[in-house]
Amino acid sequence: MKVGDSVPKLRRFGGFRDRTLNQVFRAQTLAQSAPYLNFIIPALGIVFTLFLIPDRKLLGDNPLFAQALVCRLSFLALTLTVSVLQLFEKYAKYREAFIIAVCIGGVTAYGWTFFIYADADPLVQSMSVMVMIAAIFLLPLRITYAVLFSSAIAITGLISVFIKGSSSKATETASFALYFTLMVVFSAMAAWRTERARRLEFLRAEELKELSRIDGLTGILNRRAGEERLRSNAEEIGRYGGDAAAIIFDIDFFKKVNDTLGHAVGDRVLKELCDRSTRVLRHSDALARWGGEEFIVIMPRSNMSAAIGLAERLRALFEAEPIEGVGVVTASFGVTALRRGDSPESIIARADRALYRSKENGRNRVTED
């Protein structure tokens, strides 16, 4: 199939419209954040635990301090466990789940400590709420999750201030509610603008990457991209088994077209046959220009029978429809199935042998190897 026909767009208030692109972006973001997370997550746990020092002075030797001790050490254990697990590549796919677990643990532990301090100064607690909201937005969370967790912190802090305040402090409580709300809103706006800028940069990088994989004349994959597809399919079969196939086809007597009608007409022939090919390929198939007038079709999850069937269909399609100003243009085909232990070179060697036999036997035919 052709690539680069459309560019995925950003939603106004969200991610990309293309779900796969969203997944790639999130995976890349989390991978790039790994060194930062290895620092910030244990740092959050250690800082939270260090507050045991003022806890001891303010709460003394009583059950409330024991609760604070359990609360803070539990969160420290969670952050250290997550930090250790992140060091192993096999747990990389759980990185976002680890961050969410830390946020849930942080909200729970922080909320618990609010209610341990029965006589706490509401102003001090409100400042700690603001700090925690900022800390939530330091983590590479999705915006919706960051807003959810920061709102939970704000609501918990507001409830604590309200319960411990008196009716004469209603204005003070309302002020805290306003400050917490503004902190969440402004933090979310800043995070949204930053992420949007990163998404635009990511999109531009993806567009450049895609352009580097496209043949400039025909709009299909170029040889480099075709080799990558071959390699990935060969590796998948080597690892998991299954079926895949490759078809190489070469336009018959194409040099004659260039020599007698000119290169502009030759280019039109190449584009026309590529357009015809893409109309009959499956979404999962890949068409690449291998060089000059030679092309390759990579067919994942297809056996030799299916590949021969597609090759015959392409051959008949080329032959059946004359090209204006040129006439009937045919092609010769070589087909091979991928095997365990294959490399792009071995696949191409077999397909080329089959293609050569098609040419030897009169062209405009399909041969397998």
- The pLDDT tens digits for 262-296 are 999 999 999 999 999 999 999 899 999 999 999 99
299 by DSSP, 3-state: which? strand
The stretch 49-69 carries a mean pLDDT of 85
Beta strands in the chain (DSSP E): 244-251, 286-291, 294-300, 331-337, 366-368
- Dmax over CA atoms of the chain, in Å, equals 99
pLDDT of residue 119: 64
327 phi and psi, to 5 degrees? 100, -160
| Residue 5, pLDDT above cutoff 70 | no
Which is catalytic among the residues 293, 294, 319, 360?
293
The stretch 214-228 carries a mean pLDDT of 92
| Residue 308, pLDDT above cutoff 70 | yes
pLDDT of residue 165: 58
- The pLDDT tens digits for 159-200 are 877 776 554 467 777 888 888 899 999 999 999 999 888 888
Confirm if 184 and 151 have CB atoms less than 8 A apart: yes
Q: Domain ranges in the chain? A: 19-209, 223-368
If you classify domain 223-368 with CATH, what class do you get? Answer: alpha beta
The stretch 9-29 carries a mean pLDDT of 79
| Mean of all residue pLDDT scores within the chain | 88
Q: Among 210, 186, 68, 95, which residue's Cα sits nearest to residue 137?
A: 186
293 annotated active-site: yes
The stretch 120-135 carries a mean pLDDT of 79
Highest averaged pLDDT of the listed ranges 20-29, 82-91, 199-208, 301-310: 301-310
Tell me the residue type at 78: L
> Between the CA of residue 218 and those of 28, 214, 286, what are the distances in Å?
31, 8, 13
| Residue 363, pLDDT above cutoff 60 | yes
CA atoms of 175 and 311, how far apart (whole Å): 73
